[in-house]
Chains A and B, each alone.
Chain A
């Protein structure tokens, strides 16, 4: 059978980076083909080339046997290729219909938009693939999972039959992930073909037909799912054996570092997001906060780090009342914060890596002396961290927006881990990272713990919580339902708690 898509010898150079080095990949009709590779391996770049956002320096693209030059996304769409980006491209204040029509408008005589007709088509597509998207809803009111489906409909609306999904599951709740994969199955059943980029080996093993591993811009190999396993793929990806489970000593807990009492926090819509939450974190332990996204974790972390202030309750850090303290004071007391939304809160995307690495210590010696920025020190610091934390970039002066998603995350981790801290608040610290980097960051978190740092780990990945935490607090609807010991509690029990089911015995 002839492949619907055949990329041959694609090469792309950026200044100082060979992002794609003669990559060849094919895609069969009705296939889910996974692309696996480290952060910065060149996956997104390859797909951007296929989608007409970048021009390849070398190589050919064949769609259904025909050689094509794809210069713009429009060319790609004409060829039936559609892409859902790592970061969505929707306009929040537009309705679903308006977003989908944008660039491909249905017109009534006289040049007016025919929203009705478009909405009808969207309903039809939505039904065909069981997407359950309401055309008249405003995008800003939709959960991330649904926004993603809007992106998918956008492609189907334009009759794409080759779909590229770039890390679609990174921002989804486990339930949304299941739903997405059901949708993907429906899509391939009806003859669509999908290229799926992900870092999650489990998803690859469960849902892909074939997997191609890319490392350093080169294809390392392509494997059928039936003929490989997670460990082999992981090893191919990073070029060494990966320890998927890290072993750690039992925690030696010391004094209380963070003490939270009866905390009540409102969200931006003035609704109660955190209700009567109390817990403490001691030096030398990891307290994991498990829970499905949107159960108050975001607001809890914002309150602890001073980005918002609670309406009730008290927060003490090292016996100091920080309930209403400004961010700067909390940072100076020794708090590090890996924020949940890296591009919104954690980075200035147009800044160089160098500048992002001093984002919350910019005013301090040695980076600033007598209000003058010490450029040499700042650069040295950056070069050191780039190599220590294995940030893949041509230079420390590169704009952060030019880094791959995972490497952006490493910039934040490097910054927060590189100063002496007493409390680490880590929110989704490994979101979007490859297995090698996850292993690395997990090790560093445990190292911090063993150094006597108190760690509050917020993650929607149950695996991560179970692996790292010494105690697990489960959050549900703004409350902590229980604090359990992960060694004596099963995944299933915690899973039930996350769904709000409290066991009878308690």
Chain B
């Protein structure tokens, strides 16, 4: 203790933010989600022209119109992401397989949407746990997809049981290498991974455009898109069309479990977490910070790469430019929401998956622009990231005063 508290750990602003975030309780997270959802509805109401028209007629009419928009928004969000309760009920009663499948399709479609979020969220969360800020998940998704598409189109005549794992591995390894480069640069030169992962994103985008216009391009198509992948590399589906739910979801859950196991049950994870929490103590304890950094960035990149692989093998069955639509960036938010814990990530990914899928329906039936969901997600995050706002709004005390031990006294990860 020869120095002041703040100089003790050479932490950058990100780490401090993460520490602060970790002090958030579950209550804060839940209240943030609820508040975000309510605010989203409010914004939907406020931005609907009809509501103003109704207000011009009468105050109560306006209020009613506003509430109607509110109601419609959430109903559409619910039916879009879970299903129409009446349909589900009738289908179950009729016992007709096709009808049941159709009624449950929105629900499974949400799980499908959540799958890449789980992979990418785990990627970012793993980095956070080791004190690394992998902002490059998006690029790693692209590169992973490239690796996967190559394996899935060029190898022919393999059985599914071999081709799918190989193709997934192709995505994991290429994504992993993409993540490892900034990790290695950080370990060797001290270059901050935030900068380098962002730079690697740009390289990845351009690289995928280049390859999709070149060797990976399907010559029969007019747009830059890869040839369809071999049927043997498709991730197995469980239901008939239009239900696209596939095995990727379970692979994602398996990965979440593996990440949890690695971090909290193994000696490797102990080393990684120590490096993340206090690099000085890690060095004192004889831990290898360079190795931890490089390995973590590889694993992180590999998980992101699997998100790309999942989309190619499970949903698109080919690879087009700009296919990811921001999973990698959302996953940063998602890892924060899930408190960088694999279970938290899975829950947050499900939330995002349901919101994203419901939003499409909301746009179709309630005419609410899909962008409301982006606003809503942003609001939830803002409330999480600024717990002071939430604490003040709901008069919560600083956690250190109300429950000094209960939260932190539990050993990590149990």
A366 interface residue per 8 A CB criterion: no
Which residue of chain A has its CB nearest to the CB of B400? Answer: A53
Which residue of chain B has its CB nearest to the CB of A359? Answer: B285
Which residue of chain A has its CB nearest to the CB of B411? Answer: A352
Measured between alpha carbons, how far is A342 from B405 in the docked complex, in Å? 21
Instruction: State the Cβ distance, B122 to closest chain A Cβ, in Å.
Output: 20
Known contacts: A341-B2, A348-B278. The answer to whether A395 contacts B409 by CB under 8 A is: yes
Q: Is the CB of A363 within 8 A of B267?
A: yes
Flag the segment in A87-95, A222-230, A270-278, A281-289 that touches B: A87-95
Which residue of chain B has its CB nearest to the CB of A94? Answer: B6
CB < 8 Å neighbour of A14 from B274, B281, B404: B404
Q: Is the CB of B401 within 8 A of A90?
A: no
CB < 8 Å neighbour of A355 from B6, B280, B412: B412
Q: Is the CB of A399 within 8 A of B1?
A: no
Instruction: State the Cβ distance, B278 to closest chain A Cβ, in Å.
Output: 5
Q: Is the CB of A171 within 8 A of B1?
A: yes
Q: Is the CB of B1 within 8 A of A351?
A: no
CB < 8 Å neighbour of A144 from B3, B283, B404, B412: B3
Which residue of chain A has its CB nearest to the CB of B402? Answer: A55
Flag the segment in A197-205, A243-251, A325-333 that touches B: A325-333
B286 interface residue per 8 A CB criterion: yes
A481 interface residue per 8 A CB criterion: no
Which residue of chain B has its CB nearest to the CB of A139? Answer: B4
A293 interface residue per 8 A CB criterion: yes
Residues on A with C-beta less than 8 A from B287 are: 328
Instruction: State the Cβ distance, B341 to closest chain A Cβ, in Å.
Output: 14
Q: Is the CB of B6 within 8 A of A92?
A: yes
Measured between alpha carbons, how far is A229 from B265 in the docked complex, in Å? 53
Task: Convert A138-181 into 0s and 1s, putting 1 for each residue whose CB lies closer than 8 angstroms to a CB of B.
Answer: 01100010010000000000000000000000110000000000
Residues on B with C-beta less than 8 A from A397 are: 409-411
Segment 1-25 of B: residues with Cβ below 8 Å from A: 1-9
Residues on B with C-beta less than 8 A from A352 are: 409, 411-412
Interface centre among B7, B8, B266, B409 (most CB of A within 10 A): B409
Measured between alpha carbons, how far is A171 from B8 in the docked complex, in Å? 14
Which residue of chain B has its CB nearest to the CB of A326? Answer: B286
CB < 8 Å neighbour of A90 from B4, B9, B270, B280: B4
A340 interface residue per 8 A CB criterion: yes
Task: Convert A91-118 into 0s and 1s, putting 1 for each residue whose CB lies closer than 8 angstroms to a CB of B.
Answer: 1100000000000000000000000000
Task: Convert A304-341 into 0s and 1s, putting 1 for each residue whose CB lies closer than 8 angstroms to a CB of B.
Answer: 01110000000000000000001111110000010111
Task: Convert A333-367 into 0s and 1s, putting 1 for each residue whose CB lies closer than 8 angstroms to a CB of B.
Answer: 00001011111111111111011001110110001
A24 interface residue per 8 A CB criterion: no
Residues on B with C-beta less than 8 A from A329 are: 286
Which residue of chain B has its CB nearest to the CB of A431? Answer: B1
Q: Is the CB of A307 within 8 A of B277?
A: no
Q: Is the CB of A348 within 8 A of B281?
A: yes
Task: Convert B394-414 into 0s and 1s, putting 1 for each residue whose CB lies closer than 8 angstroms to a CB of A.
Answer: 000000010011101111100
Interface centre among B4, B6, B7, B404 (most CB of A within 10 A): B4
Instruction: State the Cβ distance, A2 to closest chain B Cβ, in Å.
Output: 31
Known contacts: A347-B281, A360-B285. The answer to whether A402 contacts B404 by CB under 8 A is: yes
Measured between alpha carbons, how far is A397 from B407 in the docked complex, in Å? 11
B60 interface residue per 8 A CB criterion: no
Which residue of chain B has its CB nearest to the CB of A379? Answer: B411
Interface residues contributed by chain A, number (CB under 8 Å): 65
Residues on A with C-beta less than 8 A from B274 are: 348, 351, 359
B239 interface residue per 8 A CB criterion: no
Interface centre among A329, A367, A401 (most CB of B within 10 A): A401
Q: Is the CB of A15 within 8 A of B406?
A: yes
Q: Is the CB of A89 within 8 A of B409?
A: no
Instruction: State the Cβ distance, B254 to closest chain A Cβ, in Å.
Output: 18
Residues on A with C-beta less than 8 A from B404 are: 14-15, 54, 402
A505 interface residue per 8 A CB criterion: no
Q: Is the CB of B284 within 8 A of A307?
A: yes
CB < 8 Å neighbour of B281 from A89, A170, A345, A367: A345
Q: Is the CB of A345 within 8 A of B5?
A: no
Instruction: State the Cβ distance, A198 to closest chain B Cβ, in Å.
Output: 15
Measured between alpha carbons, how far is A358 from B4 in the docked complex, in Å? 26
Segment 373-424 of A: residues with Cβ below 8 Å from B: 373, 394-395, 397-399, 401-402
Segment 432-456 of A: residues with Cβ below 8 Å from B: 432
Residues on A with C-beta less than 8 A from B268 are: 371
A372 interface residue per 8 A CB criterion: yes
B271 interface residue per 8 A CB criterion: yes
Q: Is the CB of B1 within 8 A of A54?
A: no
CB < 8 Å neighbour of A53 from B4, B7, B283, B401: B401
A262 interface residue per 8 A CB criterion: no
Instruction: State the Cβ distance, A411 to closest chain B Cβ, in Å.
Output: 12
Segment 252-299 of B: residues with Cβ below 8 Å from A: 265-271, 274, 277-278, 280-281, 283-288
Instruction: State the Cβ distance, B128 to closest chain A Cβ, in Å.
Output: 14
Q: Is the CB of A54 within 8 A of B401?
A: yes
Measured between alpha carbons, how far is A373 from B411 in the docked complex, in Å? 13
Interface centre among B8, B268, B269, B405 (most CB of A within 10 A): B405
Measured between alpha carbons, how far is A171 from B274 in the docked complex, in Å? 26
Measured between alpha carbons, how far is A55 from B403 in the docked complex, in Å? 11
Further contacts, 4 of them, CB under 8 A, given A88-B5, A359-B281, A359-B285: A87-B1, A298-B2, A371-B268, A372-B265
B binding-site residues for A, Cβ under 8 Å: 1-9, 265-271, 274, 277-278, 280-281, 283-288, 401, 404-406, 408-412
A binding-site residues for B, Cβ under 8 Å: 14-16, 53-55, 87-92, 139-140, 144, 147, 170-171, 293, 298, 305-307, 326-331, 337, 339-352, 354-355, 358-360, 362-363, 367-368, 371-373, 394-395, 397-399, 401-402, 431-432
A-B contact pairs, 7 of them (CB 8 A): A14-B404, A53-B401, A147-B4, A327-B285, A328-B287, A344-B8, A373-B270
Chain A to chain B: the 8 pairs with minimum beta-carbon distance, closest first = A328-B286, A88-B4, A327-B286, A368-B267, A360-B285, A399-B408, A344-B8, A345-B284
